[in-house]
């Protein structure tokens, strides 16, 4: 069973890596950003489901799963805020959004898994 959990986390990490590669392209494209937000939400659900496994199955993975889950929550919050902002506000605060997208990329980075 632990092998299945590791396999699911590997899939999630690779999916996260793919999302990270599209984040920069989506900076000023609300539709693309919304799509990324949906993917991040699904990825977060996958990670959350792993936290419900029996304790003995998660011994080695628990800390990583919790950290990834926290990072994904931050990424989801940022993407939700970005999607709800007006074009003018997104433009005016481009540096803040750039930093926010960097944080999303970091949260989804293979090195953080």
- With beta carbons less than 8 A apart as the criterion, state whether 97 and 90 touch: yes
**Assigned CATH for 2-112:** 1.20.120
- With beta carbons less than 8 A apart as the criterion, state whether 50 and 61 touch: yes
Residues 93, 97, 100, 106: is their CA dihedral positive or negative? negative
Cα distance between residue 47 and residue 7, in whole Å: 12
Other residues' Cβ atoms within 10 Å of the Cβ of residue 30: 14
Cα distance between residue 13 and residue 17, in whole Å: 6
DSSP 53: S
pLDDT tier for residue 113 given thresholds of 50, 70 and 90: very low
Which strand (E) or helix (H) includes residue 107?
A: helix 94-107
The average pLDDT across 65-77 equals: 67
pTM of the model: 0.43
Q: What phi and psi values does residue 108 have, to the nearest 5 degrees?
A: -100, 5
Residue 45 scores a pLDDT above 50: yes
Q: What's the whole-number average pLDDT of the chain? A: 63
The pLDDT tens digits for 100-111 are 666 666 655 544
């Amino acid at each position: 069973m632990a092998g299945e959990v590791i396999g699911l986390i590997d899939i999630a990490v690779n999916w996260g890596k793919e999302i990270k590669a599209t984040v920069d392209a989506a900076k000023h494209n609300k539709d693309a950003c919304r799509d990324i937000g949906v993917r991040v939400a699904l990825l977060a659900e996958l990670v959350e489901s792993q936290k419900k496994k029996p304790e003995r199955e998660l011994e080695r993975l628990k800390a990583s799963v919790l950290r990834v889950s926290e990072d994904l929550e931050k990424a989801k919050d940022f993407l939700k805020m970005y999607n709800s902002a007006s074009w003018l506000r997104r433009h005016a605060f481009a540096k803040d959004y750039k930093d926010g997208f960097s944080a999303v990329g970091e949260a989804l980075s293979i090195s953080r898994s």
